[in-house]
Amino acid sequence: MSTASLNIGFIGLGIMGTPMAGHLMKGGHKLAVHTHGKVPDEVAGAGAKVCASGREVAQASDIIIIMVPDTPDVGKVLFAEDGVAAGLAKGKLVIDMSSISPVETKEYAAKIEALGCDYLDAPVSGGDVGARNATLSIMCGGQPAVFERAKPVLELMGKNITLVGGTGDGQTCKVANQIVVALTINAVAEGLLFAARAGADPAKVRQALLGGLATSRILEVLGERMIKRTVEPGFRIALHQKDLNLALTAARQLGLALPATSNAQQLFSACVSHGGAAWDHSGMVRALEKLSNFEIGQKPG
| Known catalytic membership, residue 90 | no
What single-letter amino acid sits at 91?
A: G
Q: 14 and 7 in contact (C-beta within 8 Å)?
A: no
Q: Tell whether the torsion through CA atoms of 43, 49, 54 and 59 is positive or negative.
A: negative
Catalytic residue among 76, 92, 106, 174: 174
Q: What are the φ and ψ backbone dihedral angles of 167, each rounded to 5 degrees?
A: -55, 130
d(CA 192, CA 227): 8
Q: Among all residues, which ones are annotated catalytic? A: 174
